[in-house]
Amino acid sequence: MKGAIIGDIIGSAFKTDNTPDTNFQLFKPYSAYTDDTILTLATADSIINQKDQETTLKSWVRAFPKAGYRPAFLEWALSDDSAPYVSKGEGAARRISPIGFAAGSVEEALKEAEKSTKITHNIPERIKAAKAVAASIFICKSAGTKKEIKTFIGQAFDYDFSIKVEDWKNQKITPESDISPVQPALAAFMEASDFEEAIRLAIAIGGPSNTIACITGGLAEAYFKHIPKSITRRALARITPDMQAILTAFDKRYMSYSEQKQEA
């Protein structure tokens, strides 16, 4: 989960100022957490404290209402209206990484991802994207290989892994488009040899850089099982103590995987 937050923070500086180059300054003075971080932490909070997901999501948005949410979503989250919210935006995949890390099986990851996504994005394509992220993270944390991810996700969700980062750069990926940020994020992860390269490739794709990097960051953390301390330190200095407390509690419970990793 930490990797997702780091990806969001680094990507925030490029959200409206895309760069096609991977040779950029990782942290800028205005690099900061966005709604992607808040919603990811809300998901983690609901898991570790066994709280209702919708209630927890709304409580985090209310605590941090200026993180860059869509106006309609913010209105829903701040209201006491029990009516469901159905977004046609880029989806809930950006907040789903804690589910993949906490799941005890790929079936659980898929089930919980769908349950979480339906709260705000009860649309087949958005549910599909979130499930793909959760399943990929579970496979990664369970020492699965990239080949195994390609096989499972390709067959289960009909994702085309032949589309590379350079190809995605030529696509117009916007929050309103039909292109989910999940497939570009997976491409960046697949082509990377370590966590930092994954984040750099994700941001170079363009579009909603923080969201693509957020998804990629969760995948890269689960797979490579190592984030440079200097990157972690500089990113997490930009979150609040309340956020850090949830992140620490989640790490203690779910991030004790082996450092050993073999590629097939």
Instruction: Give the residue numbers of the binding site for Mg(2+).
Output: 34-36, 211
Contact yes or no for 27/201 (Cβ under 8 A): no
Pick the closest to residue 142 from 132, 130, 134 (CA basis).
134
How is residue 199 written in tokens? 């984040």
CA angle at 115 for the pair 113 and 120, rounded to the nearest 5°: 95
The answer to whether the CB of 168 falls within 8 A of the CB of 184 is yes
Known binding-site positions: 34-36, 211
In angstroms, the CA 186 to CA 174 distance is 17
Spacing of C-alpha 206 from chain mean position: 16
Chain mean position to CA 45: 15
Which H or E run contains 216? helix 209-224
Q: Report the alpha-carbon distance of residue 188 to residue 44 in Å, rounded.
A: 24
